[in-house]
Structures are given as C-alpha cells and as structure tokens.
Structure 1
C-alpha cells in the first residue's frame, strides 16, 4: 500500500496556440503521483482535500476511475490552478488554493500506519494549516514505511524563500527518498548548484536523491554512486505532470526492487549502480510518455517495460 498526502485541484489549461480550447483537468502534484503509482500497479491511497462541488466531483471521479482510494478532509472550496502554456509547452500557474485536513485525521493516520510507503510534497508541505498535519503523519509512519518527498515549489503561493527552505529541510530530514527539479533548487538555493544541494540533502538523512532537469535528463544520487541519463527524445505536447510521473515511476521502480517499507530500507540504502541506472531509465521513460500527450496523463504498466530481471535480483550472499 502506498499512501500519498497532498493537494488535489483542477488545472484550467490555457494554450495560446489553441486559444479556443481552454480545458479543465484534475491535477495537483500529489494527486498526479497517486494516480501514477496506481496506474503502475500499486495500491494507492490519497489523503487530500476537495469539496462537494463541480470541480470536486471531477476530481473524485478521476481518482476512483484510476483505482485510488480517497481519504478526504477540510471544508474549503475545491482548489484550482490556471496554467498558461508557453510556446515550448511549459506551464506557468496562477493558484486559488487552500489546504486543510480537518476531519480526516483518524482515517489518514490509519492509512499511514498500514502503508509500506508514504509520499508527500508540493503545496501540502508548505501551506498551513495542513502542512503541520502532514509532518505529523510522516512522524506516525515511523519505521514501518519508507517516505518520499518532492518539494515542487510554488513561489507564487509561498514566496518567503528562507521560511520555505527551513520547512523543506524538515521534510528532507524525515524522508528516505527526495526528488526535486533543477528549477526548484535554483530558487531555493541560488548560491550553489542543484547537485550540490542534493548532496547536502543526502547528509540530512535520505538514502536516494533524484534531480530532474527537463530536456537535459535526470540525475540520481546515493551514497553508492551517481547516475545521469539524457532525456528521452519525444515530441512534447506539454510538460504538465511530467515530474509527477517521474516521481510515481521512481516509487514503482523501487517497489520492483523490493526497496520500500521497513523490510526494504536496507536494500534502498545499498542500491547498486546498475539498479540506479535501471531506476533512472524507468522513471525517465514515464516522464517522456507524459510529455508526449496533453495534460497530466501518466503511463500505465503496459506502456513501460519492467526493470530487467537481472537488476531486480538480489545479490548472492
């Protein structure tokens, strides 16, 4: 069981290349990750908030259609993000968002305690009052579950970089796996390179750090080594949800490597270079599939070849 904690919202997408085709799609980084891991064959919960309004019903229908179990709290209206696409397909956002887990504490706690892995990030990790609830849930995961964190920063929502940096480092220290984009880290730590930041984050406790760099491809870092891959060539429809698909595939790939949960934590710490390479390629492919079609539309299992058997085998003792 994978439990994802974080915001659900509706992306309202405006593309200047097709000005008459404004579209609305369920979104939010944690929602996209929950759908992504479910499509890749893992049982998924999403601890989130949306209201019983038009957009909330759209979100609920999307989650249930993808096999995600919903644990819903809060009282505010459903959040929205208006995304305007540039000529390269990249999106800029304007948000109308709230984050609150009132009423969901007990079922969320039960889900976390029953999970082998817990993921969070994005707005859920910085926006009150829900951010403190998220930290509490990660603490409740304890040693039973591995934890992953993707900051996916939104400066328009949390512009105080010093406060966001302190909060991000709290979540990093609580995590086994961290993933961030080069844009995230350039904003948060402008005085050093993104890889220098990931190396510093590994010193805070995680076993694996992933860096996404758009067209330049991903980098994976661990205490056992470093892997860098070029981005897969693809005709880009847009980049909405590509980083979330990468994160979901990273979790699913680690599941194939039996490197999640209390029983997998030691294997996570000891991933071999060939395993890191296979993991990076798997997540890289997932992001490329998502870029090839409009909106946050992560791949299904059949669209990604599984990690090679030779890589998933445990080394002989």
Structure 2
C-alpha cells in the first residue's frame, strides 16, 4: 500500500473586498489622465507588490475599462475573484487635484457583489473599506462576508470616506462604527474622523474605537505621520519628508503596508487574535515606520503607484 501523503496546506492569502474603478484625474495644470484605482483595489495592489498573495473581490464590467483593471491587477500579481465581472459597466471616479496635490472626487458607480462569492482557502486576512462597506446593495453582502470569516481570519478596515456617496456623517457614522467594532485593525485618516465627528478630539475618538473591538487603531495625519492606539500604548511615527506629486492612493498604500507588516510579524489569522491584541510596541513601531515609508514613496509619484518590495531596501 502506498504511503498516505498529507494534503498541501493552502497558501496564506489576503482577500480584499471592494470597489475597483477607473480614476479620471484632472490635474491643476489642466491635463487629464485615466488609470485604475479604488481604495480596496489599491490595498490589493500594494500587497501584491510587496509579494503577498492577494485576491480582490470586486464588481467591474466586461468592457475596455474592466480589461484595463484586469491588466493592472495582473501586473502586480493580484488575482481577481470569481464573479467580480458582473457589472453592466465599470465604474468611474473623477478626481480633481488642487495645487497641493490633494484630491476631491465625483463618482459614476455601481457597487454590488455576486451571491456566490467564495472566500479562498488559506485566507488569513480580509480587508474592506471605503465605498464598498457603505453603499448598497453591495455593502450588506460585504458585512455578511466579514461576519462569516471572522472565526478564521483577521479583519482589517479603512473607512476612507467619500462624502458625495456616503450621505451625511449622521447617516454614515453607525454603518462605519459597526464595521470598526467587527474589525481587528482599523486605519483611518484625520480628515475622515473630522468629517464623521466634527470638532471632536481625535485621540478620544481613536481610543473609543479601539476599546470597541479592534486590537489596533491607526490614525494617519498625511505628511505629519501617524498615531497608533492599542489597549496598552499610544505610538507616534513621523513621515519622511518628500516632494508630493499627489496624494492619490497614499492611505491605501499605508493600509497595505500595515497588513504586510502584521503578516511579517506572524500576527494574522483568527488564531493570532490574542497575540495581535498584545503586540509588542517595538514590533508595532517597526510596522508603522514601513507604512509611512511606503506611503511617502506613493505620494512622491503621480497616481496610486505604490512601491514594490525591492524599492524598500
């Protein structure tokens, strides 16, 4: 009798759930260009470029713009989940850049998910955020997937608010807070918090969020850096000084680097939830330092163009 062979364990995978779309960028000098984007898609791209196995569950069309997104993802080794191409057409986001490189957005977007979405075997982290976590009908499906996989995967979340699609802060706040409560790691910008809680003390809000469920809440402050909150510590990290081309994708690349850093520290997967909650301050500091490095490289060049692993030195 031939000896029994043990099945090969599935490769550790990140599942990113959310919008992939085409950014139509109007620059301050009057030039216009088109390139793929979308917050969760940018996070997936960052992970793929950092040589992590990443799969994106999204909603794009079988059209020229959809083909552009497929090619863009494949170029960074990101797989497109089955059923992601059911949209009538691929969504568009019009970004208008100010003289300082900051972007404001307008959207022509449909967000939904296939009813037969499958979470890959070996998934150790599920990330969602921005439009996908709030805009119906897809948002309900996103929340169901998050609830269904929490027993085996780390949940990460970035609200990445888009006021033109999310309504008023009063409308968006309970939806966002529910996902914060369900997440293990949350990254949020200072601008997002100020939109959600006008005039609030951001450290108080971040602490409240952390105590509601997440092991780690990170607040980013653009070119100033970031502050992380855990149950036992508050850590600050400064951002490198760079010449800013634009800020498109900066927060998403920070989020991807945050997932990557926790992955390197062997802190992903539901079985590591206690270890994640007890993360060593030095380990977290190192993770955050790579996050600001990745984000700084991204803002130093046009569009959502995060670095590849070899660029980090």
* TM-score, normalising length: structure 2: 0.93
Contact 2:15–2:119 (CA under 8 A) maintained in structure 1: no
Partner residue of 1:230 out of 207, 226, 238: 238
Deviation at 1:279, TM superposition (A): 1.1
Counterpart for residue 166 of structure 1: 174
Structure 1: which 5+ residue stretches go unaligned? 306-317
Counterpart for residue 26 of structure 1: 36
* Residue 296 of structure 2 corresponds to residue 288 of structure 1: yes
* Residue 258 of structure 2 corresponds to residue 250 of structure 1: yes
Partner residue of 1:204 out of 195, 208, 212: 212
Contact 2:250–2:304 (CA under 8 A) maintained in structure 1: yes
**Distance between the aligned counterparts of 2:85 and 2:144, measured in 1?**
15
Partner residue of 1:52 out of 35, 51, 62: 62
* TM-score, normalising length: structure 1: 0.92
Structure 2: which 5+ residue stretches go unaligned? 1-12
**Distance between the aligned counterparts of 2:168 and 2:85, measured in 1?**
27
**Distance between the aligned counterparts of 2:297 and 2:115, measured in 1?**
35
Deviation at 1:282, TM superposition (A): 0.7
Deviation at 1:73, TM superposition (A): 4.7
Report Cα offsets for 1:83-125 as digits up to 9, x if no partner. 1111111111111111011xx333x3332x6411000000001
Counterpart for residue 311 of structure 2: 303
Contact 1:259–1:266 (CA under 8 A) maintained in structure 2: no
**Distance between the aligned counterparts of 2:223 and 2:115, measured in 1?**
40
* Residue 88 of structure 2 corresponds to residue 76 of structure 1: yes
Counterpart for residue 127 of structure 2: 119
Superposed, 1:139-158 pairs within 5 Å as 139-158=147-166
Contact 1:217–1:228 (CA under 8 A) maintained in structure 2: yes
**Distance between the aligned counterparts of 2:254 and 2:234, measured in 1?**
17
* Residue 20 of structure 2 corresponds to residue 11 of structure 1: no
Number of equivalenced pairs: 299
**Distance between the aligned counterparts of 1:87 and 1:191, measured in 2?**
26
Contact 1:53–1:78 (CA under 8 A) maintained in structure 2: yes
Equivalent residue of 1:157, what SS?
helix
Runs of 4+ displaced beyond 6 Å: none
Counterpart for residue 104 of structure 2: 92
Moved more, 227-236 or 242-251: 227-236
**Distance between the aligned counterparts of 2:225 and 2:141, measured in 1?**
34
Moved more, 27-36 or 62-71: 62-71
Partner residue of 1:274 out of 265, 282, 303: 282
Deviation at 1:173, TM superposition (A): 1.1
**Distance between the aligned counterparts of 2:67 and 2:252, measured in 1?**
22
Equivalent residue of 1:156, what SS?
helix
Deviation at 1:151, TM superposition (A): 0.3
**Distance between the aligned counterparts of 2:87 and 2:160, measured in 1?**
24
Contact 1:38–1:68 (CA under 8 A) maintained in structure 2: yes
Contact 2:18–2:128 (CA under 8 A) maintained in structure 1: yes
Equivalent residue of 2:267, what SS?
coil
